[in-house]
Amino acid sequence: MLILFGLVMGGLFAGWFTPTEAGGAGAAGAMFIALARGQLTWRGFFDATVETTRITAMVFLIVTGATIFGRFMAVTRVPFTLAEWIGGLGVSPSVIMIFIIFGYLIGGCFMDSLAMVTLTIPVMYPVILKLGFDPIWFGVIIVLVSEMGVITPPVGVNTYVIKGVAKDIPLETIFRGIFPFLAAEAVCAIILIAFPIIATFLPSFMTW
């Protein structure tokens, strides 16, 4: 695991490959490690390939739908109208942002994070620009809050993924086990909201 982590993260920071290429490098590294340890069988390779194909098809379908939806939003100018309406409410931008974040948290309980982000960003992006928020900071917050949603009961998509892997563990036990992680992510979100500069200041030290 450490070798694989070093390959992916080290390659990213060294500039050997892009984030997308890092995924391929990680997959290839995992396959070679499994081969070296004698843990890769033809059946396991076939099952992994089939599952990867299913997930890839699902992601492409979501992205295709989101792209069409984004074009529709641009043509109808709904996001810009919504941004102008919210800007004229006379409410503090911070209050509006809290409601937006809360909406993402609730939505994450019932939708996959990728689907939710790709479907809502075309609507929300003009709104946060109108409110004067940094779009990079908003992106970091939305990713964090969306990931909180996918482990939050009652749906919590990722908890059911864990259940599919660890079939002998009751779902109630899995839901109880996620709360320390949920609390830690909530603290991170609060810190990022209180100190937005973290989202843009710290990454500047990660360049080579």
| Number of Cβ atoms within 10 Å of the Cβ of 163 | 16
pLDDT of residue 147: 81
The answer to whether 66 and 123 have CB atoms below 8 angstroms apart is: no
The answer to whether 8 and 26 have CB atoms below 8 angstroms apart is: yes
- Residue for token pair 């070679």: 32
Percent above pLDDT 70 for the chain: 83
Res. 207 pLDDT band, cuts 50 70 90: low
- Residue for token pair 């990660």: 206
pLDDT of residue 100: 80
pLDDT of residue 70: 66
Closest CA to 106 of 74, 140, 153: 153
pTM of the model: 0.63
Task: Please state, in angstroms and rounded to a whole number, the distance separating the CA atoms of residues 128 and 16.
Answer: 34
Residue 107 makes CB contacts below 8 A (sequence gap 6+) with 116, 120, 146, 149
Tokens of 177: 């086990």
Residue 8 makes CB contacts below 8 A (sequence gap 6+) with 22, 25, 26, 29
pLDDT digits (tens, 9 = 90+) for 38-85: 877 888 888 888 888 887 787 677 667 766 776 776 677 766 676 667
